[in-house]
Amino acid sequence: MQRREFLKLMSAAIAAGMLPTTVKAGQARGRVVIVGGGYAGATAAKYLRLWGGEKLEISLVEESHTFISCPLSNLVLGGSKKIGELTFGRNGLDHYGIRRYEHTASFINPEQRIVMLTKAGTSLMMPLQYDRLIIAPGIDFVWDRYPALRDAAGNPLTPLRDAEHFGESPQPRIPHAWKAGAQTVALRRQLEAMPDGGTFVMSVPKMPYRCPPGPYERASQVAFYFSRHKPKSKVIVLDENPDIVSKKALFLRAWNELYPGMIDYRPNNVVTEIRENGGQDGFRVKTEFDELSADVLNVIPPQCAGDLAQGMDNVDGWCEVDFMTYESKVVPGVHIIGDAVSSALPKSAHMASSQAKVAAAAIVALLSDAPPDPQPVFANTCYSFVSDKLAMHVANVYRYDAQKKIMLPAEGGGVSDRASEQESDYAQWWAKNIWSDVLT
Amino acid sequence: MNRHFFAAAWLCLFYGTGASPALADESADTSHLRVLAGSCAACHGTNGNSVGGTPVLAGLTPAYFIARMQAFRAGKLDSTVMHHHAQGLTEDEITLLADYFSRQARVTSRAPTAENH
């Protein structure tokens, strides 16, 4: 609807003593392009159709063919899941009439409202025009805040961040495994190859990062595997944070009860140097306080908003948005959802899908000349596994605070009393339900 | 956004207020309720059609839904997770959710396509 027509209608409505009161499905018109097909992006695409009706043109751009779930991927390290059980196609969304592009979004021209797509292995560029753009870029890693690998004599290996050691290659010597996929499998293989009596060292970046309880779940899963197969082995957690940042009491209790003496947790420990171990396998790792040997080393690097959002981020590397619409505070017409958002909200899959729903509802309203909901409310449930069959949760309702202009946790939220088999069952069904909601 | 702002500003000429209550209408409530109900889907499936492991909420009678939620809220019903959600919701939100889920059709939810990896 053009502005003039809209105003004409409004004026008629007012003259008649009535005002438009509802947005009907099917009224929304326009082109919405979503870049990023993870939990946030795929949910946005589906719910734009469910709530926006048939007249919206919806395009979903995601370069990777498969969706691999980060939730539950620590269980691959523990050995109770295979990566294939967490790997899905996005073709379950096709019946919604969503155009899917397995392309890379190379750049955005916000003035002309165009996203430029490229396809790996070709030089063809394809422009996609949008009225509203959603980007769900996930996270990237800030490697230059991490020490480079040095040889045993202390000389930096060049190039500093070559993919053989760190980075995004499928099997680097020091995998991050913080985006589920090939590196998750690579880290599992390193654990399998490690002899009994070895040491697994992992580092945790300062908050905020993707999945606050994830590193502690990972430590639990590796300890679970060791307790069954390599009981003389150790897990050392070097945490840049001053304390366990999520579900602290629950993790400590589980570690004490299930893996006594196996997990050595060290807060306020920033890795300052990593060296090769002089002719032996493994690495020497220095922190401000300690120096130790690692047979298997997993650095979870500091994080920032995914590549495509760069330029729309703040000094900390995350994207500030209006929490009623998730529209960027930097670039009008571009909505940013999921882990890339700057907020105190936990960067979880459930949170990403809830943000996607707020953004989808707001865009449907905006493209129907209606106001977006001024007071979004949604729930978040996040499970962590401490073994193959024991899990626990943190759950909260979050409510928009109009004065502070942020989402705040409502009263009543909290964590489990203790990890249990019942919650492990719920957590497995949580995954099946959210996969169905996001991907079909 | 501009269009919207323009319309709101225009209305203000008539009503003389920046925060026009006329625009905070039912459409906002509807979208509000959809998003809130939508966040239940992670455990209870799209529109309350659970694939399993949790109760199907679609098509529940409102009285039953409200009774269960009030019991979770008051701690009268054992739960692992639901008391955390029920206590975070207002009475009105529970009533609105009860109405919302009672109107959803029961359908069989689907699983996504597995891909070999």
The token duo for A162 is 């070559």
Higher pLDDT: A421 or B20? It is: A421
Cα nearest neighbour of B23 on chain A:
A371
Which one-letter amino acid corresponds to residue A170? P
B83 touches chain A (CB under 8 A): yes
- The pLDDT assigned to A45 comes to 98
pLDDT tens digit string along A354-371?
999 999 999 999 999 999
The helix, strand and coil proportions of chain A, stated in percent and rounded to the nearest 5, come to 30, 25, 45
Q: Do A117 and A17 contact (CB within 8 A), yes or no?
A: no
The pLDDT tens digits of the residues spanning B26-39 come to 444 488 999 999 99
Provide the pLDDT for residue A277.
86
Q: Which of A435, A241, A257 is nearest to A349 (CA)?
A: A435
pLDDT in tens, A262-303: 999 999 999 999 998 877 789 999 998 889 999 999 999 999
Cβ count within 10 A of residue A289 = 11
Q: Taking Cα atoms as reference points, which of A221, A226, A217, A216 lies closest to residue A262?
A: A226
ipTM > 0.90 (yes/no)? no
pLDDT score recorded for residue A162: 60
Cα–Cα distance for residue pair A91/A95, rounded to 1 Å: 8
Neighboring chain A residues of B35 at a CB cutoff of 8 Å? 354, 357-358, 361, 373, 376-378
Residues 40-59 (B) with a CB less than 8 A from some CB of A: 40-46, 50-54
Angle (CA) A162 A166 A170, round 5°: 100
- Which chain B residues touch A369 with a CB distance below 8 Å? 3-4, 7
With beta carbons less than 8 A apart as the criterion, state whether A387 and A78 touch: yes
Q: Which residues are registered as beta bridge partners of A139?
A: A305
Q: Which residues of A touch B46 (CB under 8 A)?
A: 436-437, 440
Residue A420 has pLDDT above 80, yes or no: yes
| C-beta atoms of B112 and A92 within 8 A | yes
pLDDT bucket at A163, cuts 50 / 70 / 90: low
Does A411 contact B28 at a Cβ distance shorter than 8 Å?
no
A-to-B residue pairs, Cβ atoms closer than 8 angstroms: 217
Omega before A208 cis (within 30°)?
yes
Helix (H) or strand (E) holding A92: none
Q: What distance in Å separates the CA atoms of residue B107 and residue A385, rounded to the nearest whole number?
A: 31
Q: What is the pLDDT of residue B99?
A: 95
Q: What is the pLDDT of residue A26?
A: 53
- Residue A155 pLDDT: 83
B103, burial (CB in 10 Å: exposed 0-12, middle 13-18, buried 19+): exposed
CB nearest to A332's CB, from B1, B14, B31: B1
- CA-CA-CA-CA torsion sign (A343, B26, A49, A365): negative
**pLDDT tens, residue by residue, A402-419:** 999 999 999 999 999 999
B115 touches chain A (CB under 8 A): yes
> What integer is the mean pLDDT of A329-341?
97
Q: CB-CB: which of A67, A420, A433 is closest to B43?
A: A433
Contact B35 A375 (CB under 8 A): no
* pLDDT per residue as tens digits for the range A112-142: 999 999 998 888 899 999 999 999 999 999 9
pLDDT for residue A152: 84
Which residue in B has a C-alpha nearest to residue A411's C-alpha?
Answer: B88
Q: Sort out which chain A residues have CB atoms less than 8 A from B24's CB and list them.
A: 371, 374
Task: Give residue A10's pLDDT band: very low, low, confident or very high (50, 70, 90).
Answer: very low
The neighbouring-strand residues paired with A203 are: A238, A299
Please count the CA atoms within 13 angstroms of the CA of A25 that sit on its side-chain side: 9
A379 touches B at CB < 8 Å:
yes
B84 at the A interface (CB within 8 A)? yes
Residues of A with CB below 8 A from B40's CB?
A: 379
> Per-domain residue ranges for chain B?
26-102
Q: Which fold has domain B26-102?
A: Cytochrome Bc1 Complex; Chain D, domain 2 (1.10.760)
Residue range A157-176: mean pLDDT, rounded = 73
**How close, in Å, is residue B30 to chain A by CA atoms?**
8
Kindly report the nearest CA distance between residue B2 and chain A, in angstroms.
Answer: 10
Q: Does B74 contact chain A (CB < 8 Å)?
A: no
Is the pLDDT score of A22 beyond 60?
no
Nearest CA to A274 out of A253, A301, A297 is that of: A297
If pLDDT is split at 50, 70 and 90, which confidence band does B59 have? very high
Q: Which two tokens stand for residue A385?
A: 């596994």
Q: What pLDDT sits at residue A379?
A: 95
Contacts of A393 in chain B (CB under 8 A): 80-81
Please say if the pLDDT value at position B10 is more than 60: no
pLDDT 10s digits, A54-86: 999 999 999 999 999 999 999 999 999 999 999
pLDDT band at A425 (very low <50, low <70, confident <90, very high): very high
Contacts of B25 in chain A (CB under 8 A): 19-22, 371
DSSP state of A144: G
Residue A18 has pLDDT above 70, yes or no: no
